[in-house]
Amino acid sequence: MNHPIYQVRAVEVVEPYTLRVRFTDNTEQIINFKPVLAGELYGPLLDLQLFNQVTVDSEVKTLVWPNGADFDPATLHDWPEHKEAFAARPREWARVSA
């Protein structure tokens, strides 16, 4: 099986919680992360100062934050296919803790 390997080339903050992510295959996604920022790993990214410290890891070529949060580059590349599943997790956690 031959499947593409996606890598992030660049990232730019375009709005609060929203990033333009460019990939090595010359595609890009504009992703609003706010709906998925919950839980122990992603919840701290609601602090815009922390969220805006996003960088591209030079070794694994994906988005990373100083608190250790990251996303698989293939998930970012195909974000429209995955965003609803990611957004559903925080809603489920909120229901359980209520």
The domain that contains 26 carries what CATH number?
3.30.2020.10
Q: Which domain holds residue 32?
A: 8-97
pLDDT digits (tens, 9 = 90+) for 13-69: 999 999 999 999 999 999 999 999 988 899 999 999 999 999 999 999 999 999 999
Q: Is the pTM of this model over 0.75?
A: yes
Q: What is the mean pLDDT of residues 70-74?
A: 94
DSSP readout, 4-20?
----EEEEEEEETTEEE
Q: Is residue 1 part of a domain?
A: no
Tell me the β-bridge partners of 14. Answer: none
Q: Is residue 48 part of a domain?
A: yes
Q: Is residue 2 part of a domain?
A: no
pLDDT of residue 14: 98
pLDDT of residue 2: 66
d(Cα 46, Cα 82) in Å, to the nearest integer?
20
Q: Is residue 67 part of a domain?
A: yes
The count of domains in the chain is 1
Query: Torsion angle, CA of 46/79/89/91, rounded to 10 degrees?
Result: 70
Q: Is residue 3 part of a domain?
A: no
- pLDDT at 90 exceeding the cut of 70: no
Q: Is residue 76 part of a domain?
A: yes
